[in-house]
Structure 1
Amino acid sequence: MITNTELEYKGNLYPNKIVDFLQDADKLFFTTANGVILQITILRDSVLRFRYATENVFEPDFSYAINDDAGIGYNHLNVVKTETEYIVETSKIRVLVDIDTLRVQISDLDGNIINEDELGFHWEENYEYGGNVVKMSKITQGAESFYGMGDKATHSNLKGKRVDNWAMDQYAFGKDQEPLYKAIPFYIGLHNNISYGLFFDNTFRSYFDFAHERRNVTSFWADGGEMNYYFFYGPKMPDVVKSYTDLTGTPELPPLWVLGFHQSKWSYYPEKRVKEVAKKFRDLKIPCDAIYLDIDYMEGFRCFTWNNNYFPDPKKMVQELSDDGFKTVAIIDPGIKVDKDYWVYQQAKDNDFFCKRGDGPYMRGKVWPGECNFPDFTNPDVREWWATLYKELIGDIGVKAVWNDMNEPAVMEVPTKTFPLDVRHDYDGHPCSHRKAHNIYGTQMARATYEGVKKYVYPKRPFVITRSAYSGAQRFTSTWTGDNVATWEHLWIANVQVQRMCMSGFSFVGSDIGGFAEQPNGELFARWIQLGVFHPFCRVHSSGDHGDQEPWSFGSEVTNIVRKFIELRYQLLPYLYTMFWNYIQDGTPMLQPLVHYDQEDTQTHFRTDEFIFGKQILVCPVQEPNAKGRRMYVPRGKWYNYWTEETIVGGKERWVIADIDKIPLFIKEGAIIPKYPVQQYVGEIEITELVLDVYFKIGAESSTVYEDGQDGFDYKKGRYSLRKFRLRGKENELIIQQFKDGSFITPYKNFTFKFHGLPFKIANVEVDNEKVALKDLKLNGNNTIEISKDFTELHITGN
């Protein structure tokens, strides 16, 4: 351990010697002579909270990020004092707290150092605003890599980078630009095959330096608030991500239609244009489940109003779209136009619901409607009122979902692009300035919207989208990566951003397919669709001032390619739905960067392009023009080329052929991939069969299929179908066992097993230990058989 030689250095203050120790159940308190208190809370054997107070006083303990249902409880805790340190030990990790300096070292029980303070906690008085700038510096371990941090538009490995957490409207942002729309102060460290996570739960503007300024030091600091961070021990990366996701929460299951294809533009109007777009989808048989209405549907951009010239009868239009299988999604922004004749404005003013400046007047700022006031969504009364505003839009007119934009919050024509820092907020009874509330403003707006949509769309499930978010926002909302650009570089950025968000506990995410600003050509649009159908949220959205960006806007060749890949997404809906269920149940990211999938393989530590879709599909987008294929890294194991069924052994880079109509796509051997028939929208047809694509493997592999009523809340009462398949393959034999749970009865009666790579010709089939004549199985060559969905064991042998 380094020792402090001075109490103050370059304006920074440091803790000195520990003079008191107290244990209160799961909380340990270490107090220094100069009034610093370190509180260590043992949440789980592998999850600890570190919280520092100065002048012997902690701030009120409150967080918007933490999930009330987070798992807590540990198996072992022991504290021992030596001459030089306190030793805190759980059943997973050991923490040393230095008596002279309060510095912390965390290791596993074998003595491998995981994370270690350099200067440790220090602070500097903020003379302009009061309070402290709080700081922490850690020693960067040998060959350490860093991941996470939300939607950063930079290389997936953050080693050598500095990033800034301050939610900001960044139209047409660039690679490496900071800050962006979201503040997710969580990172994952990896070194010596040990993974850990660190979540700095501080909503003030914060900064992370990953060995950028000093090559052996990683540091993070915030402009105010407490030094308050959570430490998650792996040692495997999935354990870290699951622990963080459990702490900050997961969403409810969305309705299945939300996982279909969505079409948006700024803006589709008038009604005639909306219907033309909808009709074209159906005429061209390109599946689509949702059409979006941007700000032009409103009367003068006033939220919760309709422009009667463009939409004379919105309820009728929404119903007619619904009859054709389209859900209508409408945008709502936070800015409320200053207009005494506008009912929303008047209600908020009468109830004193708007944010105020430090000296009392309402905060005013220009957004789309002109001069606006802004509700204080950190006030629970305001959130409750805001939820009631959705009664007409959702409950009466029939709009099915809401998209919250401009909620960083964005303000036009001011250099900061947002509120002045003296704006006051309620912060759920902990009054503060905008310095503290800024990063969670968008999350609290989305939370209020979620409560309103959920109330008025009931008994169906809610769907909300937000542009701005802080850690924990995933409990209420999905998101997208903001106002990107129609360039090849932005295709690369979108791929990295979505992977990074999934690693940061926020899986329900996508990008504006094709780019929001500027105009893609047909090739770029096709390549972006090929990536976008493998993102959890799949939506085309464009600014509209450069031309059309519908699937048919780039000629028949591109239209056919786009249709092919959207159809593939609809076939994979049961796989995608199961991915979502795994995310909710276990905190498993819906997309896994290769380093998350296999951290032991050091070749994965700097890969950016390839990712695992769910658990068993490998995807690698083509991100350059005029490409007939690309070099990619295939992770260890054996994989089937989806297009050719050729098997390859991973663990190395290889060239993969992928002309304009294909994307490199591989299936893990042993996987059982569920597929539905192609639908033009979810619910168009009754699912009369489930195809199970079986990719033969010598050895064992498990797969899961989750299904329910596709909407509504019966699944919470046990009305779901969870099927777990265990595959075991030998040279002349294949056994598939099924384990079932849940009371939901699926509409299909049979499975169609489609075999890939079967090394023998089927000679005998036994179902639940009874031999079945091949003619009764609808055996098609050596590729498919059809059997009852209720089987327990399928046993196939060859000649």
Structure 2
Amino acid sequence: MQITTSSGKYSVKHYPDVIKSWKKEGNYFYFYTTETILEVRVVSDKIIRFRYAADGKFQRDFSYGVTEKLEESPVDFGIREWEETFEIYTSAVRIFIARDNLRKTITDLEGRIINQDEMGFHWQYYLSKGGKIIYNTKLIQEGECFYGLGDKPTELNLRGKRVENYGTDAYGYLKDTDPLYRNIPFYYGLHHGIGYGIFFDNTFRTLFDFGKEREDVCSFWARGGEMNYYFIYGPELMQVAEAYTRITGSAELPPLWALGYHQCRWSYYPDTKVQEIAAQFRKRQIPCDALYLDIDYMEGFRCFTWSKEGFPEPEKFIKGLADDGYKMVVIIDPGIKSDPDYEIYQELIKNDFACKRADGAPMEGDVWPGKCVFPDFTDPKVRDWWAGLFRGLTEAGVRGVWNDMNEPAVFEIGSFPEDVRHDYDGEDVSHRKAHNVYGHLMSKATAAGLKKHLMPRRPFVITRSAYSGAQRWSSVWTGDNCSTWEHLWLASVQCQRLSVSGISFAGSDIGGFIGEPDGELYTRWIQLGAFHPLMRTHSASNETNFDQDPWSFGEEYEAIVKKFIQLRYSLLPYLYTTFWQYAAYGTPMLRPLAFVSQKDPNTHDRNHEFMMGDSLLISHVHEAGLKQKEVYLPEGNWYYYFNDKHFEGKQLITIDTPLEEMPLFVKAGAVVTHYPPMQYVGEKEFEEMILHVYFGEEVTHSILYEDAGDHYGYKNGQYNLVRFKQGSDKKQFRLKKKFVGRYNASYRNHHVFVHGLPFTPKEYVLDGVSHALKATDVKNGVVELVLERKFEELVIR
């Protein structure tokens, strides 16, 4: 024990002393000191959970973040005793636990340090609140970088920063504002080319310090709960990302339309205004799939109702839009208006489903409807009840739901007082423990309701607040941002950070929610948004009643915005394949350069460039009037998308940035799949799938995943995997294709474009049969061929 001062008051910090005994039970190891017990669970050879009982008694082993599908799969593990340490080993790592103080050192099999305790675990009583404050401190290794932790609006590398998780309605947040809406207690470390991750599964207010207080120490702590964290060894950062998703759960494939363009505003009102917006998209031939209704569609802001004046016939209204290809997404907040004549309120009170203050009275607070009560989403009975409420919306034709204000936000006081009680799946806890999962569980219940009532169609949910694992059922957006260039920059780093924090299905309010962008800012934001998994324009009401629509800024900007929304739709098969990789393997859709080329130190602090999927590298324009931009290209060879200019990687280049373009590069050797033009998903069946193939001398592999784009047939094998292998040289181009699957796609041909050939092509050989190339087959150095879908090998020489 050690006496320290805290806010002028003495408190006691407790540190583990000598190990007195130990035992092994299956893949669990227990080490006992005077006060503390350390539990080490070998989940797999690269995933180890460390859990501490501060005063000799473990708390309930329960998590809202860890998937029920997590399986233990160690291959080889055991324990050795040494004079000063215990050594737990697996086929990938070695964990040394000091006999005198439980401090741990984790190495690889060659003895290189991956992660090392400084003071390690310690704790103190939280005298003013109750319970304990639990700490863990670790040594920062030479040159170590840190990433992750969700939507923090700061540089990707967190070295030198301190951040906090406590879900907050951060309206109009700025760079370095903290905390924000989401609570993702997971970070990466990278040093000496070695990557690892730590997931601190604790729902109390958690804090992380990456060398801000002491430059050589990383620490994380919580104001309650248990020190319970998963250590994940890579050594590749992408392997860590995939393992983290194995722990917290994988996303399901969304309906394909959800990867299209979404248009939203606070608020389109009445129904005729929505119809007018919808008609403008089709008239101007700007693709769009989803239209949103904000809070004004309700009767007095009462959830699950429709305004009698503004939306008198919701079923007819939604069907009319659906006939023109639109899917309707509506907002639902947690606040239920305190109105004795309101059926949802009656049920909430009658069934005792509302959150309560410590004295037993319902938690009441002002939100949009006025005085409200709030469902306790930590109670499984409440979640089931909430899920059932969506039947009426889905019967009216609603295809998606947007959960907002669920940090939870309450006017004037910010959020719930800490004395509010929650069921917490049978544990009975205060809001201190439940706060960071309140919105997380609201969106879970929402998703369950939509999935049930939309079956067999797939649901779409978007939530503002979330905890680790929310990717299993929801997408997110970055919150109430501003129409500034700084926020455009923030949108890029926040979505990259969310992606490597397990939540790839994320986007920002394009153009900014607060304020009015000019045409240039909106256009540049659309260009970035075209490469975010969620692409949604959203804006607030304002004094000028300005509509932030793609045509709002004049013809010059509209043409460019249209071009990039069309590009988004043409890339849908590539984006959907990237989402399938994310759903199947946990692979982040957006990949910061440090995750693409971690052994290149030049990538470790790059914020502007990222990859979407395996083949596309993006570096958006983030300053007004920018004519040129420096872009760092990682190792490899790259083509500039708009003119096929070739660049070698591992260097900083300067690229022109005219308004009608953005820095967009394709990796050499890639096959990038495209759809023909469309106005919305499902508009028509395609006769061909377009393949843009980029010459590369290294053997490369690309993939196309395809299914019906909705319903769950893919879970019964109704999908196709088309694998491409390119192995070319300076004299000939060679592309092999392998098809596996049982989905009957509509197209019969591949329209193939081969870019970047270093020779003058004379003939092509298709499945062993030679054909002369006609002059019309080669345009501006690009070979263009229409081939039957069943082809297996194409050679050009």
TM-score interval for Structure 1 and Structure 2 normalised by the shorter chain: over 0.9
The 5 Å alignment of 1:436-455 reads 436-455=433-452
Once the two structures are TM-superposed, the CA of residue 445 in structure 1 deviates from its matched residue by 0.3
- Return 144-153 or 762-771, whichever deviates more: 762-771
SS in 2 for 1:283: helix
Once the two structures are TM-superposed, the CA of residue 735 in structure 1 deviates from its matched residue by 1.5
- Return 42-51 or 788-797, whichever deviates more: 788-797
Counterpart residue number, 2:249: 249
The 5 Å alignment of 1:253-268 reads 253-268=253-268
Distance 2:628 2:676 in 1: 29
The 5 Å alignment of 1:136-147 reads 136-147=136-147
SS in 1 for 2:587: coil
Counterpart residue number, 2:39: 39
Determine if the alignment matches structure 1 residue 631 to structure 2 residue 651. no
Once the two structures are TM-superposed, the CA of residue 761 in structure 1 deviates from its matched residue by 3.2
Determine if the alignment matches structure 1 residue 487 to structure 2 residue 484. yes
Counterpart residue number, 1:613: 612
Determine if the alignment matches structure 1 residue 410 to structure 2 residue 396. no
Distance 1:108 1:135 in 2: 25
Counterpart residue number, 1:710: 709
Aligned partners of 2:764 and 2:770 also within 8 Å: yes
Determine if the alignment matches structure 1 residue 380 to structure 2 residue 377. no
The 5 Å alignment of 1:234-633 reads 234-394=234-394, 396-414=395-413, 417-546=414-543, 547-633=546-632
Counterpart residue number, 2:224: 224
Counterpart residue number, 1:3: none
Once the two structures are TM-superposed, the CA of residue 8 in structure 1 deviates from its matched residue by 5.1
Once the two structures are TM-superposed, the CA of residue 748 in structure 1 deviates from its matched residue by 0.7
SS in 1 for 2:391: helix
Aligned partners of 1:8 and 1:14 also within 8 Å: no
Counterpart residue number, 1:50: 50
The 5 Å alignment of 1:655-694 reads 655-694=654-693
Aligned residues, how many?
Answer: 787
Once the two structures are TM-superposed, the CA of residue 455 in structure 1 deviates from its matched residue by 1.0
- Return 638-647 or 754-763, whichever deviates more: 754-763
Counterpart of 2:102, as a letter, is L
Counterpart residue number, 1:748: 747
Percentage of pairs with the same residue? 50
Counterpart residue number, 1:155: 155
Once the two structures are TM-superposed, the CA of residue 210 in structure 1 deviates from its matched residue by 0.3
Distance 1:745 1:779, change over 3 A: farther
- Return 68-77 or 526-535, whichever deviates more: 68-77
Aligned partners of 2:762 and 2:772 also within 8 Å: no
Aligned partners of 1:779 and 1:786 also within 8 Å: no
Aligned partners of 1:778 and 1:785 also within 8 Å: no
Distance 1:56 1:84 in 2: 23
SS in 2 for 1:656: strand
Counterpart residue number, 2:72: 72
Aligned partners of 1:622 and 1:629 also within 8 Å: no
Counterpart residue number, 2:23: 22
Aligned partners of 1:147 and 1:189 also within 8 Å: yes
Counterpart residue number, 1:207: 207
Distance 2:672 2:424 in 1: 46
Once the two structures are TM-superposed, the CA of residue 56 in structure 1 deviates from its matched residue by 1.4
SS in 2 for 1:239: helix
SS in 2 for 1:353: coil
Counterpart of 2:643, as a letter, is T
Once the two structures are TM-superposed, the CA of residue 635 in structure 1 deviates from its matched residue by 1.3
Once the two structures are TM-superposed, the CA of residue 456 in structure 1 deviates from its matched residue by 1.2
**TM-score normalised according to structure 1 size:** 0.97
Determine if the alignment matches structure 1 residue 697 to structure 2 residue 701. no
Distance 2:358 2:269 in 1: 40
Once the two structures are TM-superposed, the CA of residue 54 in structure 1 deviates from its matched residue by 2.1
Once the two structures are TM-superposed, the CA of residue 767 in structure 1 deviates from its matched residue by 2.5
Which consecutive unaligned segments of at least 5 residues does structure 2 have? 6-11
Counterpart residue number, 2:9: none
Once the two structures are TM-superposed, the CA of residue 499 in structure 1 deviates from its matched residue by 0.3
SS in 1 for 2:106: strand
Counterpart of 1:150, as a letter, is G
Distance 2:636 2:777 in 1: 30
SS in 2 for 1:29: strand
Counterpart of 2:499, as a letter, is C
Once the two structures are TM-superposed, the CA of residue 773 in structure 1 deviates from its matched residue by 5.8
Distance 2:76 2:162 in 1: 37
SS in 2 for 1:553: coil
Counterpart of 2:541, as a letter, is G
Distance 1:757 1:205, change over 3 A: same
Distance 1:36 1:740 in 2: 56
Counterpart of 2:531, as a letter, is F
Aligned partners of 2:378 and 2:422 also within 8 Å: yes
Aligned partners of 1:253 and 1:581 also within 8 Å: yes
Once the two structures are TM-superposed, the CA of residue 71 in structure 1 deviates from its matched residue by 4.0
- Return 623-632 or 330-339, whichever deviates more: 623-632
Aligned partners of 1:14 and 1:121 also within 8 Å: yes
Distance 2:660 2:281 in 1: 20
Once the two structures are TM-superposed, the CA of residue 769 in structure 1 deviates from its matched residue by 2.3
Aligned partners of 1:15 and 1:102 also within 8 Å: yes
Distance 1:743 1:109 in 2: 43
**TM-score normalised according to structure 2 size:** 0.98
Counterpart of 2:532, as a letter, is H
Distance 1:185 1:649, change over 3 A: same
